[in-house]
Amino acid sequence: MTGLDIGYYAIEPLTEPTEPDEARGRVVESVRMGEATIDPAAADPALAFGPTGGGAQPISAPSKTRGMLSTPVRDVLTKRGMLAGFSTVAMDSKGGAPVVGTGRLLTVILLRFPDSDAARQAADEMDAADAGVSTENAAVPIPGHPEAHAHWRPTVPTLAATMAQDSFVISLLVGHTGTDVNAMAALAGRAFEAQRTRLADFRPTPAGDIAALRADRDRMLSRLVADDPGNWPMPAVLQSGIGENAGWESVGQPNGVVYGPHAVQLRGPRPGTDRAEAMAFAGSSSLFRYATATVARRTYVENFRIDEGFQEVAAPQGVPEAKCIRNLASVDTSNNYSCWLLAGKYLALVHSRDESNARQKIAAQFVLLQRDPE
């Protein structure tokens, strides 16, 4: 391993900082809530596909809902002291981004507040604030959930619904192929029921302990090569929402966190059979852990293929089970080159704007996994 070209990357496992930090703790608690958020397929099995770019993200602050919730609703989240949240979206067709009117869509947003009173007030005010965005909005009852609030515009194939449960608010955005309000309300009802059931088993971190939460589940992050050598990847959510109204124009990229098995499933792409037990994010690098080396190898074989618009390039010498590709069609120059690595139960993925740098980064990742295999 000593002869490998690792460039400037660090190859010693780092230790996570232990000082409490409220903002970072809220990111970690939001990631924990991914295990409590339903797969939209639980409400409609046809909703089996995640959007390109990932269909699940932590929501650590009201500002992280831009492009997902309207501006007046974000103001309510701030007013009522939102602590953490998680969102997921799925659709009934494969690939691309959700487009209103072209298929069935469902976004599930799970938000946590200081107590049940704050959650109830937030649910009431979120619906009122969002409905007030347009005078065309009309109230809609949700079957089986008289306590829920919902509204729609008769000319638009979407419905927004909100309901409180204990110290949580469940917020839904439903999309359909046409303005069938009964179909959308029925889907919302099924989603509320499924979410209520899953949430009943979740144990939130006491508010006073959130700042002390640690991000590095099972030392996944300490095994992951970071873009900034020698510096621990602090928990954060890089959010690129562009819309000011409720919709599907939000993409959040987590950093310095580890998704559990259910959140990995929500992130997609769906459908699939072999799910990672955990997935760590640090900058432009990701690390997946599977139940066994056999499952990891099967995933590696099935997912590393040269599709149209990609070209295989040389992998680093001396690194077994590494492969690299160039994205010929990408307009994002920071991710033109990618390398995969299989190492026992682990799969690693790194991106770079430079071919040589991508090889150095995956070589450093190989060394890290050899030095701390498990």
Instruction: Give the CATH fold of the 214-371 domain.
Output: Protein Transport Mog1p; Chain A (3.40.1000)
Q: Count, in order, helices (H) and strands (E) of the chain.
A: 7, 16
Please tell me which of 259-273, 294-308, 341-355 the model is most confident about, judged by mean pLDDT.
341-355
Q: Which helix (H) or strand (E) holds 26?
A: helix 22-32
CA angle 255, 115, 137 (to 5 degrees): 80
| pLDDT score for 203 | 96
The two domains 22-199 and 214-371 share their CATH topology (first three levels equal) = yes
User: pLDDT digits over 75-86, tens only?
Assistant: 999 999 999 999
Burial class (CB in 10 A: 0-12, 13-18, 19+), 253: middle
Distance of CA 178 to the CA centre of its chain: 28
* Architecture in CATH of 22-199: 3-Layer(aba) Sandwich (3.40)
Q: What pLDDT band is residue 334 in, cutting at 50, 70 and 90?
A: low
Higher pLDDT, 304 or 128: 128
Domain boundary assignment for the chain:
22-199, 214-371
Across the range 118-141, mean pLDDT stands at 96
| pLDDT score for 2 | 57
Whole-prediction pTM: 0.93
Q: What pLDDT band is residue 269 in, cutting at 50, 70 and 90?
A: low
Nearest to 84 by CA among 235, 243, 231, 220: 235
Answer whether 156's CB lies under 8 Å from 169's CB. Answer: no
Average pLDDT, the chain: 91
Distances (CA, A) of 304 to 299, 300, 342, 357: 8, 6, 11, 20
pLDDT at 146 over 90: yes
